[in-house]
A and B are shown apart, each in its own frame.
Chain A
């Protein structure tokens, strides 16, 4: 089974464009994460797939069949809402059982299915409670149970973890991962939290301003960002991006000079010989040296932010500033000290200045 958005655009009545020609397709069994900052259209994409919104143009296909105008109940998908959307007047049991009830499932089978999914999500104790009597984490698990009880082909999750506190979010994330592995259904998971996306997704679709920017595995997204936006959005802290100039085989940004010649074949082949570009490098890829050497740049320590096991240094030199993450900071590190850094060529990404498109 495959799911495909074909050139989907959604413009709301107030004139805002939530999705701009979205093209995205994936196969069954995946856990696809739709990731993006708030307002990027990720929830709209999810709701269009569910059938809760109709696209302004374009089509949604499931197994090659156009489902754009099908009502939600004929799409065979379930959904976990950000607010959980439990029925406040029904017990937990009835909440979970509701999708089966509307499908006329025989009583015995219904009870069995509810108890099975309740056991899977540790909800057996809570079946007689009302939503009002549940904690946030419990309500969230009920919402998941309701979405899985009738074994839909696709389960959509619209920021299901964002109302939980940090610890519970981590626990639930692992739980969802286990469920996905056990059930083998297709999950579509919408989030603005890149850490969640990295942890959960078999593939991640990064959205920005209603358009798909990159669709790939977490590794690809992290190490080969397709645009400057992805580089600056992913990672904690995100990539350092420096706007500078290519001059005579090196990259210059103020006093910061990165020689690119050493590995001409791999680096400069796809780069223009000169002109302004953007360089990106992950904070943990920057190398620290005790003494100056070939290709190193001297920078001054401005802030030392130690959160064990990591230390994050913010370094400056004339015209440039970067963040460096390391687990082995140089000894006697103080604010104002000088450190020497070098940028391994294999860790560098370059983007066009104007479009932000990847050059290398």
Chain B
């Protein structure tokens, strides 16, 4: 029996809960302040450097700003630039097609080749640790340097690779890999494969080595052949990581600029004029900034879209890989 003067146990509990709630609110306010202090500088800088310019790009797209044409000093012209892009500018659409061909060819070969090499290296784990740094060289070089060194070895008259290809009968004496409009894009694709296949190797090898061993042993016990194990176990388990690598490569290839700029500048003619090269030309050769903004905005839009897909793939890859790690 409780004495009548003692506070009711339940009200006492409620009071305590209120108190601890208050304390929690206090600390959460402090945490919120801290979070803001920690996040604000980074967010502010990016807003200033990226979102500001992005919005300005949008605005420029509705103007006729051009540094090369007198009188076009940023007058509002509505959707004229968009109309020009969609209906009048064949060169833009040609560069879109060139970009798509470049991305599709380069990325698909990089994926297949890279994963195959990773499988090859995964079978000899010990040695792969020594080999990886060598294989990584192409992707770690500055892209401009990659362009430069390939331009060097592909010179028509004395390039080491050109010479070897001719000696092997793979290249005609008069054709040059960079000078021939029919060959130039293929050459760009091959250089991109040389540069970025190591990336696919690096990530998929890490993925393969991070897979749990148990499902593979289970499949062996279940009687599966090497081939079946690859298709029934390896490939499905690697799918999230492969998807992530594919998207990452696609986004990067879509933005390709440096080495093509250095090696061909988009030529000969417009045979290697990727979107980014075209946008560069509109803005910094023709100084047609209003129209250039619309073109740039198109690239941004595509990348943003791919980014959204990539984000999904990323979290799937992270969870699948995390789970695999935990199972070991």
Flag B220-244 by CB within 8 Å of A: 1 or 0 each: 1111110010001100110100000
Question: Once bound together, how far apart are the Cα atoms of A23 and B215, in whole Å?
Answer: 30
Among candidates B218, B225, B237, B327, residue contacting A79 with C-beta atoms closer than 8 Å: B218
Closest CB in chain B relative to A64 CB, distance in Å: 23
| CB-defined contacts of A89 to chain B, threshold 8 Å | 236-237, 239
Among candidates B214, B221, B232, B323, residue contacting A72 with C-beta atoms closer than 8 Å: B221
B224 touches A73 (CB 8 A): yes
A78 touches B221 (CB 8 A): yes
Stretch at the interface among A97-105, A115-123, A298-306, A338-346: A97-105
| CB-defined contacts of B239 to chain A, threshold 8 Å | 89
Q: Is B219 an interface residue (CB 8 A)?
A: yes
Among candidates A84, A85, A99, residue contacting B223 with C-beta atoms closer than 8 Å: A99
Flag A71-98 by CB within 8 Å of B: 1 or 0 each: 1110001110101111111000000001
Closest CB in chain B relative to A162 CB, distance in Å: 14
Question: Once bound together, how far apart are the Cα atoms of A132 and B221, in whole Å?
Answer: 22
B218 touches A102 (CB 8 A): no
Interface residues of A in 28-67 (CB under 8 A from B): 50-52
| CB-defined contacts of B323 to chain A, threshold 8 Å | 88
What residue in chain B is nearest A99 (Cβ atoms)?
B222
Q: A102 with B228: in contact, given A83-B214, A85-B215 (CB under 8 Å)?
A: yes
Question: Once bound together, how far apart are the Cα atoms of A81 and B218, in whole Å?
Answer: 8
Question: Once bound together, how far apart are the Cα atoms of A52 and B220, in whole Å?
Answer: 8
B223 touches A83 (CB 8 A): no
Closest CB in chain B relative to A140 CB, distance in Å: 13
Interface residues of A in 131-181 (CB under 8 A from B): 146-147, 150
Question: Once bound together, how far apart are the Cα atoms of A103 and B224, in whole Å?
Answer: 8
| CB-defined contacts of A98 to chain B, threshold 8 Å | 219, 222, 224, 232
Closest CB in chain B relative to A303 CB, distance in Å: 40
Among candidates B222, B224, B225, B233, residue contacting A78 with C-beta atoms closer than 8 Å: B222
A102 touches B233 (CB 8 A): no
| CB-defined contacts of B88 to chain A, threshold 8 Å | none
Q: A85 with B217: in contact, given A98-B222, A99-B222, A99-B223 (CB under 8 Å)?
A: yes
| CB-defined contacts of B223 to chain A, threshold 8 Å | 72-73, 99, 102-103, 150
Question: Once bound together, how far apart are the Cα atoms of A270 and B232, in whole Å?
Answer: 62
Secondary structure dominating the interface of A: loop
Question: Once bound together, how far apart are the Cα atoms of A52 and B219, in whole Å?
Answer: 11
A81 touches B217 (CB 8 A): yes
| CB-defined contacts of A52 to chain B, threshold 8 Å | 217, 220-221
B237 touches A85 (CB 8 A): no
B228 touches A81 (CB 8 A): no
| CB-defined contacts of A50 to chain B, threshold 8 Å | 221
B233 touches A72 (CB 8 A): no
Q: A77 with B221: in contact, given A83-B214, A89-B237, A98-B232 (CB under 8 Å)?
A: yes
A83 touches B221 (CB 8 A): no
Among candidates A78, A85, A102, residue contacting B214 with C-beta atoms closer than 8 Å: A85
Q: A83 with B327: in contact, given A98-B232, A102-B224 (CB under 8 Å)?
A: yes
Q: A73 with B218: in contact, given A83-B327, A102-B225 (CB under 8 Å)?
A: no
B228 touches A87 (CB 8 A): no
Question: Once bound together, how far apart are the Cα atoms of A147 and B215, in whole Å?
Answer: 13
Closest CB in chain A relative to B214 CB, distance in Å: 3
| CB-defined contacts of A147 to chain B, threshold 8 Å | 221
| CB-defined contacts of B237 to chain A, threshold 8 Å | 88-89
| CB-defined contacts of A102 to chain B, threshold 8 Å | 222-225, 228
Q: A79 with B221: in contact, given A88-B237, A89-B236 (CB under 8 Å)?
A: yes
Among candidates B220, B222, B236, residue contacting A71 with C-beta atoms closer than 8 Å: B220
What are 22 A-B pairs with beta-carbon distances under 8 A? A50-B221, A51-B220, A52-B217, A73-B223, A73-B224, A73-B225, A77-B221, A78-B222, A81-B214, A83-B212, A85-B215, A85-B217, A86-B215, A87-B218, A87-B233, A89-B237, A98-B219, A98-B224, A99-B223, A102-B223, A146-B218, A147-B221
* Interchain residue pairs A-B with the least CB separation, the first 9: A85-B214, A85-B218, A99-B222, A73-B223, A89-B236, A79-B221, A72-B220, A102-B224, A102-B223
Give 18 new A-B contacts, CB below 8 A, not counting A72-B223, A87-B233, A146-B222. A51-B220, A72-B220, A73-B221, A73-B222, A73-B224, A78-B221, A78-B222, A79-B217, A79-B221, A81-B218, A83-B327, A85-B215, A87-B232, A89-B237, A102-B224, A102-B228, A147-B221, A150-B223
